[in-house]
Chain A
Amino acid sequence: MKLPDTKEVQTEFKPKILAFCCNWCAYAGADLAGVSRFQMPTNVRVIRVMCSGRVPPELVIRALANGLDGVMILGCHPGECHYSEGNYLTRRRAHVLKRLLSYIGIEPDRFQLRWVSAAEGAKFSAVVKEAADKITALGPNRWGDKR
C-alpha cells in the first residue's frame, strides 16, 4: 500500500496536551514542581482525578478525536498507588489502548502513561518537557475534527 506523504510542515506549532494526574502522586508531584519553580513548557493542562485508574479510555479517545495533540495519564509508581492497585489496572488498559491507537495511525507518543511520585517535582517537569518536545515533533493531531 503506497500512500502519499501528507505530513504538513508547520512553523510555531504549539501542541495542546492534556494530562490526567492522580491526586496523591502525580498531582502532588506537579504541585511540587510548581513550588520548586521548575520551569516548563506551557502546553500541558492538568485534570485532577483521585486515581489514574479513574481515567476511562473513552475519555482519552474523545480527547484525541477532539483534536488535542496529546493525552497523558500520570499516576503513582507501581506498588505505590494510594488505592493499592489502581495504577496497575491503568497500566493494563493503557497498554491495550496505546496499541489500538497506534493501529489506526495515532502515533504512540500522543498517548503516554507515566509514573510521577509526590516527591518527583523534577520528574514531572521532565515528563512535561519530553512530551511537549515529542508531540511538537509529531506535528498537529490529524484526527481532530476529521471529516
Chain B
Amino acid sequence: MAIPRIGVFICHCGTNIGGVVNVPEVVEYAKGLPYVVHAEANLYTCSEEGISSIKNNIKEHNLNRVVVASCTPRTHQPLFRNACADAGLNPYLFEFVNIREHCSWIHMQNRREATEKAKELVKMGVAKARWLEAQEEFESEVYPAAMVIGGGVAGMSAALNLANQGFEVHLVEKEPELGGRLLNLNRLFPINKAPDELVESIVKAVESHSKIKLHMPAVVKAASGYIGNFDVSIDEDGQETSFKVGVIIVATGAQVLKPELYRYGKLANVLTHLDLEQRLKDGELGEFQNVVMINCVGARIPERPYCSRLCCMTAIKNAALMKEINPEAKVYVLHRDLMTYGVEFEEYYRKAKEAGVRFIRYTPSKPPKVVGTKKVKSVKVYDELMDMEVELPCDLLVLATPLIPNDDNEELSRMLKVPIGDGGFFLEAHVKLRPVEFATDGIYVAGTCRWPADIRESVAQGYAAASEAAIPLRQGLVKVEAITATVDPRICKGCGTCVLVCPFDAIELKESKIRGLEGKIVAEVNAALCKGCGLCAAACPNRAIQQRGFTDVQLLSMVNALSGKR
C-alpha cells in the first residue's frame, strides 16, 4: 500500500454546521492528524465549488484518501465518491464523517463540546481512511424481464409500459381476473363513468400483448436473488412454475375495511360504499328516500390515524349519484375535513352541493349516532355550524371506510425482503424523493399497497415504477457496491461458520483452486448474492473473511482513535 496521503474537507453547510461547530478549529486539528496532508473548510462541500475543490486537491496534493466531514453518507456518499472517481481516485478511497446530523444539529446549545466531538469524529474518519483500499465493483448482467405482482390498474399500467418498451413481463395476479379493485366499482370519480369498458380496453391490451406472460390465478411462492437476477417461483392454479426476472414491481393493492361501527353487518340498511356500488351494479339497491353517508369510519382514529385519501370523493360520487337516481331523495354526507384536494375534486364537491347533496361536518368527539333497532331509522349528528344536534331520517346508511393493507403483505415482505411501514403498507426507500422504489435495488412498489391512492395516482405510480425498473433493464448491467465479503483462503480453516450465518446463501465451502492451496476446503463468496451485511465477518473466529469497506482493521482503528490509542 502506498503511503496514505489523506485530504480532509470540512463542510460549513452554510450555518448548519458552521453555526455550531467551530469549523476552522476542526480544520486545524485535522491538519495534525496522521497521514493528513491537506485539510480545508468549504461553505458547502456538496456545491460544485466544493466538488471541484476536492478534485483539484486530489491532483495538487496527490491525495490517495479523501475524507469529507459534512452530512450523512446516506444521501451524499455517491456524490463525493463520484468526485473522487472524476479525479482519478478509486471511489472506495473516500470516507464520510457525519458532523451535521450526528453533531451540529443535535448539540446546538453546546458549541464547545460539539466542536470537540466533531474533531473526534474527524479523527475516527481519518483513522479509518488510512486503511481504506481501492475496490472494484462487481458487475452483473440484468436478465431482461420483469415480474409485476398484481393485475390491478397499477400493475397493468406498469406491465404494459415495460412490455411496450420491449421487455418481457410476467404479470402475476392472484385472482382469476385482471382489473383488481376496479372490478367492484360502479362508477369512477370524477369522470362518473362505469369502469367496465375502460378497464376492458386495458385488460385486452395486457392479454393480447405478446411480451406479457399472464399468470392467473397465481401467487408468488418464493423469490431469491438480486437486482438483475431474481429467481421466482409461483403457484399458478396449483402448478409450480419458475422463471427468472431482472426486476420486480409490487402492485398488490389493498382492501377496504369492513367496519365494526354504526351496526354495520347487523342492520340491513347499513352498507359500505363498496357494498353500495355492488348493489348498484347488480341493480339490487331498491327504493330509498333518505340517504345518510358517514365519512372517516374507522379512519383518522387513534388506532388507524391515517386518512385514506379517496373516501371523500367516493362519498361525493355516490351521493351525487343517489340524487341523480332519485332527485327527490334527501342525501346527507357527514364528514370531517373534506379532502377534495386539487382542481377537479374541488369542482366535484361543488357540483354535488349544487345538485342538492347536503354536507354536514361532524367532530370526532361527537360522532353520529344510529337510531333504530332492526333497521336504521335515523342518524343523529351534532352539527358544528348550527351548534346543535340534528336528527336526519335515514333509510340507507352508507359508510366510507378506509383502504387497509392486504393480509398477505407481510408474507410478501418476508419473501422479497422489503419493509412494511406505517399502518401495514409497504415502505418506500424515501417518502419524498424515492416514492416508488424499495431500499432494495431492483424491487419497486406502486399503487395502494404502498398507500391509499386513486386511479390516476395508482396508474402514475405504476408508470413511475416501470420507469425506475426500465433503468436497469435498459442498462443491461448493474454494479454492486463493493462492500461485499472476501475470503483470505490462506487463513480460512473451512469451519463453515460464515456459511451458517449468511442470510443470503452467498457463501459455500469449496476446494480452493489457488496455487499452493489446491484442495484445501475454504469458504468462497458469491459476490452476486452477497449483500454486504458483514455478518460473516463478525462471526469468523480467525477473521479470514472480511467485509470490504468495514474491515476489522478499519473498525478497530476507529475504536482506537476514539479511545486515544494508536
- Name A residues whose Cβ lies closer than 8 Å to a Cβ of B: 16, 18, 23-24, 27-28, 30-31, 33-35, 37-40, 42, 45-51, 53-56, 59, 62-63, 66-68, 80, 82-86, 89, 93, 119, 125, 144
Asked whether A38 lies within 8 Å of B106 as measured between CB atoms, the reply is: yes
Asked whether A67 lies within 8 Å of B121 as measured between CB atoms, the reply is: no
Asked whether B535 lies within 8 Å of A86 as measured between CB atoms, the reply is: yes
- B59-86 interface (Cβ within 8 A of A): 72-74
Q: Which of the candidate stretches B197-205, B340-348, B550-558 sits at the interface with the other chain?
A: B550-558
Nearest CB on A from B554, distance (A): 10
Interface size on B, residues (CB 8 A): 50
Q: Which of the candidate stretches B97-105, B135-143, B145-153, B174-182 sits at the interface with the other chain?
A: B97-105
Asked whether B559 lies within 8 Å of A86 as measured between CB atoms, the reply is: no
**Total A-B pairs, Cβ < 8 A:** 130
Known: A63-B563, A68-B562. A50 touches B106 (CB 8 A): no
Give the distance in Å from the alpha carbon of A16 to the alpha carbon of B564 in the complex.
11
Q: Which of the candidate stretches B112-120, B157-165, B354-362 sits at the interface with the other chain?
A: B112-120
Asked whether B534 lies within 8 Å of A27 as measured between CB atoms, the reply is: no
Known: A68-B562, A68-B563. A86 touches B72 (CB 8 A): no
Known: A31-B74, A51-B533, A68-B563. A39 touches B102 (CB 8 A): no
Give the distance in Å from the alpha carbon of A144 to the alpha carbon of B439 in the complex.
40
Instruction: Answer whether residue B417 sits at the interface, using C-beta atoms and an 8 A cutoff.
Output: yes
Which residues of the other chain, B, contact A66 by a CB distance below 8 angstroms? 559-560, 563-565
Asked whether A34 lies within 8 Å of B101 as measured between CB atoms, the reply is: yes
Nearest CB on A from B15, distance (A): 13
Which residues of the other chain, A, contact B215 by a CB distance below 8 angstroms? none
- B348-394 interface (Cβ within 8 A of A): none
Nearest CB on A from B17, distance (A): 11
Which residues of the other chain, B, contact A18 by a CB distance below 8 angstroms? 559, 562
28 contacts between A and B (CB under 8 A): A24-B439, A27-B74, A31-B72, A31-B74, A34-B102, A37-B108, A42-B110, A42-B117, A49-B550, A50-B483, A51-B534, A53-B535, A54-B538, A56-B539, A59-B555, A62-B556, A63-B563, A66-B559, A66-B560, A66-B563, A66-B564, A80-B419, A82-B417, A82-B440, A83-B535, A85-B503, A86-B535, A125-B106
Asked whether B533 lies within 8 Å of A83 as measured between CB atoms, the reply is: yes
